[in-house]
Amino acid sequence: MLSIFSCNRDKRDHVQAPVKHLEARSNDMGNTELPAGVPIEPGVSIGKVSLGQAVESLPGPEKQENGTVTVPPGISASIKDGLVVDIWLEDIRALAMPVIIAGVTIPPDAPLERIKELLGPCQEVPVKGGMFFNCKAGVAIGTDFLGEGRFVQVRVGPR
Per-residue pLDDT of the chain (159 residues; tens, 9 = 90+): 444 443 333 333 333 323 233 333 334 444 434 448 999 999 999 999 999 999 999 987 777 888 999 998 889 999 999 999 999 999 999 999 999 998 889 999 999 999 999 999 999 998 888 899 999 999 999 999 988 999 999 999 888
| Identity of residue 91 | D
Neighbours of 15 (CB within 10 A): 15
Indicate the pTM of the whole model.
0.74
**Residue ranges per structural domain of the chain:** 48-87
User: Which residues have C-beta within 8 Å of that of residue 145, sequence separation ≥ 6?
Assistant: 130, 131
Contact status, residue 62 vs residue 70, Cβ threshold 8 Å? yes
